[in-house]
Amino acid sequence: MGVVGAGRVGAVLGSALRAAGHSVVGASAVSEDSRDRVDALLPGVPVLEVPEIVERAELVLLTVPDDALAGLVQGIADTGGWQAGQIVVHTAGRFGTGVLAPAQRAGAIPVALHPAMTFTGTSIDLSRLVGCPFAVTAPAPVLPIGQALVVEIGGEPVALPESARPLYHAALAHGANHLVTLVTQAMRVLGRAGVDEPGLYLGPLLTAALDGTLRDGELALTGPVLRGDAGTVAEHLASLAALAAEDSGLADLPPAYRTLARVTTQRAWSAGRLTDSAAQLLLDAVAETPVPAHPAADDDAPAAPAPSPVLVRTRADLREVLDRQRGTRAVVMTMGALHEGHLDLVREARRRADHVVVTIFVNPLQFAPGEDLDAYPRDLEADLAKLAEVGADVVFAPDPETMYPNGDPRVRVEPGPLAAVLEGATRPTHFAGVLTVVLKLLHLTRPHVALFGQKDAQQLALVRAMVRDLDVDVEVVGVPIRREPDGLAMSSRNAYLSGTDRAAALALSGALDAARGAAGAGAEQVLAAARERLVAEPGVRLDYLELVDPETMEAVPADASGPALLVVAAWVGTTRLIDNTILDLWKDE
């Protein structure tokens, strides 16, 4: 036999086959490291050029990088190097025997062997080959040749069809190579947290997690996702984002955590290990809200204008535009006067779907007499410019006559008891109007996914309940609250606040911060801490402050634990504001 490519894999496998009785006639080695490996693992074997090895060997072992393999095989074929009856074996996990077709056409016997292990390129690897599984791919008549080679060196042959090779290799790379990235990230974060030897600290935990997963699969999952601890997950993301802001070398941490937490949630949810409400809260906590990129300060080149979204105002025009779209569609429903919170919804929609439709409609049904329907801010031109910057494709901006051609609709959506508390107690007709227009807009825009802000938490819960109970075929996604730098939740109604009112309004987000700090003392202390902060601000007149179940909006008991939603509504001057946060309740005994 001859070894083409005396890297870590080739030198070890050549040594193992030599020990099994095969005579190694030569090995190719370009680098100094490869030559050293030949000396150490294949003593006495001459280093030869590839053509000479192929000419001398009855079995040629090709252990070159995946991307070089096809060119090497074809190059040898072009020079007439392959011989009839010669066994040609490669070890690339990515390929089956198709890559050896040029050799096979010359009469060679193609075999693909891939050991499921990592190699150090030293004698340590020889003992690790014993019991190691090898994927073996070969035409049926010669499959036993590949299996026999594996058995000779102590491995376990596993027959793998040609068509399965890409998935097989992707699985191994995902499980092993990406694990290195994940563990390295965890070690770096522990180091920044002050742990001196993060590898030693993680060792027992990761060993137990890996052993459990290999034994029990997803049943081995533990941690905040399985517990439904959305607040903990959100806090993790905030901490990682702060760390990444300090160190650009850790910028990949938040998106990696976010993606894995989302996938873990979806897997646990589909397996029935999370309730719908717990899963939705977790998915809301990890929803992406990227800030749009800005040009560098020293970049004097004018930016190309963003393409404007298509503006449609009638049902017929909307139908015509949507009928031309292919792929998935997301909808974001707004009343205009757009701010960064709205634009976060559009950015998330852009990530989730091929096409994004934004609706702008100040819905009269959700305003009671005496509320601010006429005064509600409207600036369609400015809204269109903002939507162009974040990639909206279509803006549907109907007038009331288009939405309600016969005047007030005689049939409306009855929201049920969920709408009778909190916002519903203060605004008893509000949610019937909201759900009616949302359902109409879902029918008109026909989306695959609809995105709503977590700031209107009760509205989000009601929309989810309506979609579930009325079998509306759409995925509802909540997007986290976007806040001003000082913590105030973004709202179109913030424009009503005077300077004094604006300062007083910070008591709402301050109350939520105080409540988070008391989460370990139980529900009663959470409410007390938040109320104390609100009462201390004379410019705030409290409407309600409640700690509720995120799905039913019912008040949680004093001994509650796990995720809960703290909601607040208050008047600041003449402006009514709302805010909320998810908390993980627990009692530190």
The Cα 260–Cα 286 span in angstroms is 10
Say yes or no: 178 and 156 in one domain: no
Using alpha carbons, select from 48, 144, 149 the residue that is nearest to residue 91. Answer: 149
3-state secondary structure 435-475: HHHHHHHHHHHCCCEEEEECCCHHHHHHHHHHHHHCCCCCE
CA distance 336 to 404: 19
pLDDT confidence of residue 270: 65
Range of the domain at 275: 169-285
Q: Is residue 127 domain-shared with residue 254, that is, in the same domain?
A: no
Within-domain flag for 540:
yes
Dmax over CA atoms of the chain, in Å, equals: 96
> Residue 419 domain-assigned?
yes
Query: Do 440 and 548 sit in the same domain of this protein?
Result: no
Same domain, 119 and 85: yes
Query: What CATH number is given to the structural domain containing 59?
Result: 3.40.50.720
CATH of the domain at 398: 3.40.50.620
Closest CA relative to residue 422, chosen from 511, 528, 553, 549: 553
* Phi, psi at 49, each rounded to 5°: -75, 155
What are the residue ranges in the chain where pLDDT is below 70?
Answer: 270, 276-277, 288-306, 372, 586-589
H-type alpha helices, 217-252:
224-227, 230-246
One domain, residues 456 and 473: yes
Q: Are residues 372 and 512 in the same domain?
A: no
Whether 487 is in a domain gets the answer no
Q: Count of CB atoms within 10 A of residue 496's CB?
A: 19
Question: In this structure, is residue 485 part of a structural domain?
Answer: no
The one-letter amino acid code at 175 reads G
CA 112 remoteness from chain centre: 35
Strand-pair category, 562-572 with 540-548 = antiparallel
Model pLDDT, residue 192: 93
Same domain, 177 and 156: no
**Residue 561 included in any domain:** yes
In the listed set 115, 141, 160, which residue is the last one of a domain according to the structure? Answer: 160
221 with 270, same domain?
Answer: yes
- CATH number reported for the structural domain that contains residue 564 in this entry: 3.30.1300.10
Task: State the residue for tokens 């099994």.
Answer: 20
Q: Find the CATH number of the domain harbouring 204.
A: 1.10.1040
Tell me the per-residue pLDDT of 149-177, one tens digit each, with 9 for 90 and over: 999 999 999 999 999 999 999 999 999 99
Tell me the per-residue pLDDT of 471-496, one tens digit each, with 9 for 90 and over. Answer: 999 999 888 888 888 889 988 889 88
| CA distances to 67, 417, 564 from 425, in Å | 66, 11, 20
Strand ranges of the sheet holding 540-548, from the earlier edge strand across to the other edge: 540-548, 562-572, 575-585
Clarify whether residues 156 and 176 are in a common domain: no
Q: What is the 3-state secondary structure (H, E, C) of 153-208?
A: CCCEEEECCHHHHHHHHHHHHHHHHHHHHHHHHHHHHHHHCCCCCHHHHHHHHHHH
For residues 318 and 83, what is the distance between their CA atoms, to the nearest angstrom? 67
Among 424, 457, 479, give the residue marking a domain's end. 479
Residues annotated as catalytic (active site), given as ranges: 342
Question: Any idea how long the chain is?
Answer: 589
Give the Cβ contact number of residue 130 at 10 Å: 11
Residues 124 and 17 in one domain: yes
Residue 121 in any domain: the answer is yes
Residue 301 falls inside a structural domain: no
pLDDT at 300: 54
**What's the rounded Cα separation, in Å, for the pair 478 and 333?**
12
Q: Where are the alpha helices (DSSP H) in 91-130?
A: 101-105, 124-128
Q: CA-to-CA distance for 235 and 169, rounded, in angstroms?
A: 35
Report the alpha-carbon distance of residue 217 to residue 391 in Å, rounded. Answer: 40
Residue 393 sits in the same domain as residue 522: no
Tell me whether residue 30 is exposed, middle or buried, using C-beta atoms within 10 angstroms of its C-beta: 0 to 12, 13 to 18, 19 or more.
Answer: exposed
User: Would residue 80 be called left, alpha or beta, if left means φ above 0 and alpha means ψ between -120 and 50 degrees?
Assistant: left
Give yes or no: residues 371 and 466 share one domain.
yes
**Count: domains in the chain:** 4
Contact 522, 558 (CB under 8 A): yes
In a domain, 304, yes or no: no
| Boundary residue ending a domain (125, 160, 195) | 160
